């Protein structure tokens, strides 16, 4: 067998050329966060068959797996951040609902207190009128023939 550093044979040159195209395609996949780092995507970008990667370019396959694990770690971290954000949002919404309920009960109590105060003011006015009527001086009858003003 010939060594990979020996580029004198056409197979070695083809393998080196394919390796270079795969590395270049891997760099493009690594720079594009929207591209999925899969063997199929790498093969399409490099213009080679997937079997070539599996059979002859294990080092590129290892680099691709490393890129996949990096992306998964970043995805998991982003998912964790999203979960924490959703949890915080649910907590704030629950707190908002609790405050709205508390405000509604306070408003109801305030309206009831105003109605009670109006009733008490009317009752107080009635009692003041009755007290004023009771405090009116009652004339004492001096003469039996004089008519009683309270009966008239």
Confidence (pLDDT) at 2: 43
Within the chain, which residues score under 50 in pLDDT? 1-4
Identify the DSSP state of 140: P
Q: What is the mean pLDDT of the chain?
A: 85
Evaluated on CA atoms 30, 35, 37, 39, the torsion sign reads negative
Confidence (pLDDT) at 123: 97
For the chain, which residues make up each domain, given as ranges?
Answer: 10-127
Residues 85-103 have pLDDT tens digits of 999 999 999 999 999 999 9
Confidence (pLDDT) at 1: 42
**d(C-alpha 54, C-alpha 87), whole Å:** 43
């Amino acid at each position: 067998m010939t060594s990979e550093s020996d580029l004198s044979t056409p197979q070695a040159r083809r393998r080196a050329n394919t390796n270079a195209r795969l590395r270049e395609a891997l760099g493009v996949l690594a720079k594009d966060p929207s591209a999925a780092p899969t063997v199929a995507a790498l093969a399409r970008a490099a213009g080679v068959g997937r079997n070539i990667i599996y059979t002859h370019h294990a080092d590129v396959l290892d680099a691709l797996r490393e890129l996949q694990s990096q992306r998964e770690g970043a995805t998991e971290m982003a998912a964790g951040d999203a979960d924490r954000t959703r949890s915080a949002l649910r907590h704030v919404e629950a707190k908002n609902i609790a405050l709205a309920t508390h405000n509604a009960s306070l408003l109801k109590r305030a309206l009831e207190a105003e109605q009670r105060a109006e009733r008490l003011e009317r009752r107080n006015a009635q009692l003041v009128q009755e007290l004023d009527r009771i405090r009116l001086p009652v004339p004492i009858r001096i003469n039996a023939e004089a008519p009683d003003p309270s009966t008239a």
